[in-house]
A and B are shown apart, each in its own frame.
Chain A
Amino acid sequence: MIKALGNFIAIIKGSLLTTRHFMVNMWFHTLKLLRIKTKRKGAVTIQYPEEKREIASRHRSLHRLLKRDDGKPRCVACMLCVTVCPSECIFVEATEDPDPEIQKSPSSFIIDLSRCCFCGFCVEACPEDAIRMDTGQIEFAEYTRDRLIYDLEKLTE
């Protein structure tokens, strides 16, 4: 009997909690509707397409390939990123570079983003700091898969 009464009180308490949330948030919504500025807001929602959340500085977003001063990609086609990629979605083909200091450069560099899991291992592995994931671009969804295959040109943009 006592236990049942305790349960009943707990049930009432639960609804009082949600009522409080409702009342407090409704109060701030009403104030906002009346154009009265308050420190708190009625909701914590970020209205996404219009309002965007700031991306953290170490956030892993779309890849990019860095360029040398003369505009060629910094990549030396060492295949380290190809090896480390857990999704096996990087495809690099090497050619000889005229500069004997560099020796090799990529003739094609393809990342299949439809398979990429954004682990960032490629960035870690690269000895030349040639690939980074700091573009801050996170909205690159496409309607077809082949548009998600990014080649050298698209990556160096």
Chain B
Amino acid sequence: MSDWIIILIKIICALVWFLVIALYLTWVERKESAVIQDRIGANRANIWKFRVIGLFQPFADAIKMLFKEDFTPRFSRKFLHNLAPFVSFFFVAITVSAIPFGDVLRIGGREIKLQIVDFNVSLLFVMAMLSLGIYGIILAGWSSNNRYTLLGGMRGAAQLISYEVALGLSLIGLIMVYPSLKLSAIVHYQGELLWGWIPKWGVFLQPLGLLIFFFAALAETKRVPFDLPEGENEIVGFFTEYSGLKWGLFMFTDFMEVLIIACLLTTLFFGGWQVPWLYADGFHFPWGGQWLLPHGIVVAFQVLAFNLKVFFFCWLQVLIRWTYPRFRYDQVMDLGWKLLVPLSLINIAGTAILLSLLG
């Protein structure tokens, strides 16, 4: 019984974390783009003249979205049309269940894993769920019954599927280095040290894999350098026939994808919740010193480290979104099939050779 309650609490905490941060990513996006472009950014939303640098903006947006007309075109397939945004939302939201936020927390003789479910194939699960998100796009494009949205949906599906290949292949090298498909195990492996002082993070063992994964993941989020499926301002994308909250769900899904990509980058390549040289009982520095800490503080450090890394990658992705112009479609396909896929194959071969040489 109490196991169920713990799982319920974990689900609620993780989902609230996920949704709130994704909501505030819209604020980060506005503010960061403004700071990059020497502007101030949205700062007018207030509660009783209380502005707090525009922190209420996401709520104002959400309320606006709620009260907008929810328009379904006469010619669309009503059921599928309504289903599509929820499909794409759901498959991203469910991935958070596999993300490890920290190591085990011990309270009152009970060990609680700071991860909703820790199953053996969590890496595959996350990748599979992220790919299933494509169905939302195709459904949206198709069920709108509009030729251009159908084209947009097809374009999106083609782009996502071609990058899915590179995304998957780039992780093979990682799985070779950390022999597990369990995200928590991968994070545990990254706590070990290389030559006694460098943490064994994916970024040091798989630099090329990281690069490929990052590019492919950027393409998966369908945001600016790779925003051919939607292209808010000029391309007729797959969600043209949506309005109000359903449109908002598609936009929100993009931000959730940014967040989940940041989580994955952190978990797979930057040590997840690992802090360098922090072990279960405190810091053991490679130059000999040590600083022992109680269990609660160690867990707090881990969760904080995870969050900071995730925020950094969110920041980086927003920066990239506001730096680069959009690729042409043939360039996107070239980058995917002619550069990333061969590079990831080279990465697999190189990793295999190195591993067998090192024994």
Residues in A lying within 8 Å of B, measured CB to CB:
4, 11, 14-15, 17-19, 21-22, 25-26, 29, 42-45, 47
Contacts and interface: CB of A to CB of B under 8 A. Distances in A.
B39 interface: yes
A58 to B, nearest CB: 28
B35 A15 contact: no
Interface string B307-326: 00000000000011011100
Interface in B326-351: 339
A25 B323 contact: no
Among the interface residues A15, A17, A18, which one has the most CB atoms of the partner chain B within 10 A? A18
Nearest to A26: B35
A21 B324 CA distance: 14
Contacts of A22: 32, 35-36, 319
A144 B97 CA distance: 55
Nearest to A43: B40
B39 A45 contact: yes
Contacts of B38: 21, 25, 42-45
Can you list the 6 inter-chain pairs with the closest CB atoms, starting with the nearest?
Answer: A18-B323, A45-B40, A43-B40, A25-B35, A18-B36, A15-B323
Contacts of B40: 43, 45, 47
Given A22-B32, A43-B34, A15 B319 contact: yes
Interface in B130-186: none
A90 B34 CA distance: 43
A18 B39 contact: no
B324 to A, nearest CB: 6
Contact of B319 (A4, A19, A42, A43): A19
Instruction: Summarize A's interface: helix, strand, loop or mixed.
Output: helix
Contacts of B322: 18
B233 interface: no
A130 B37 CA distance: 45
Contacts of B35: 21-22, 25-26, 29, 42-43
A63 B339 CA distance: 63
A11 B40 CA distance: 26
A15 B34 CA distance: 15
A143 B39 CA distance: 30
Contact of B324 (A4, A11, A43, A45): A11
A21 B34 CA distance: 10
A46 to B, nearest CB: 10
Nearest to A46: B40
Contact of B36 (A4, A21, A47): A21
A15 B324 CA distance: 8
B314 to A, nearest CB: 14
Contact of A43 (B39, B320, B323, B339): B39
Nearest to A21: B36
A14 B34 contact: no
19 contacts: A4-B339, A11-B324, A14-B324, A15-B323, A18-B36, A18-B322, A21-B37, A21-B38, A22-B35, A22-B319, A25-B36, A26-B35, A29-B35, A42-B38, A43-B34, A43-B39, A44-B39, A45-B39, A45-B40
A14 B39 contact: no
Among the interface residues B37, B39, B40, B339, which one has the most CB atoms of the partner chain A within 10 A? B40
Contacts of B36: 18, 21-22, 25
Nearest to B320: A15
A13 to B, nearest CB: 10
A19 B35 CA distance: 10
Contacts of B37: 21
A22 B36 CA distance: 5
A26 B34 CA distance: 10
Among the interface residues B36, B37, B324, which one has the most CB atoms of the partner chain A within 10 A? B36
Interface string B14-57: 00000000000000000010111111100000000000000000
Nearest to B316: A15
Contacts of A11: 324
A34 to B, nearest CB: 14
Contacts of A26: 35
Nearest to A33: B53
A25 B37 CA distance: 9
Nearest to A25: B35
Given A43-B39, A43-B40, A18 B34 contact: no
A17 B323 CA distance: 9
Nearest to B32: A22
Contacts of B32: 22
A140 B32 CA distance: 34
A96 to B, nearest CB: 55
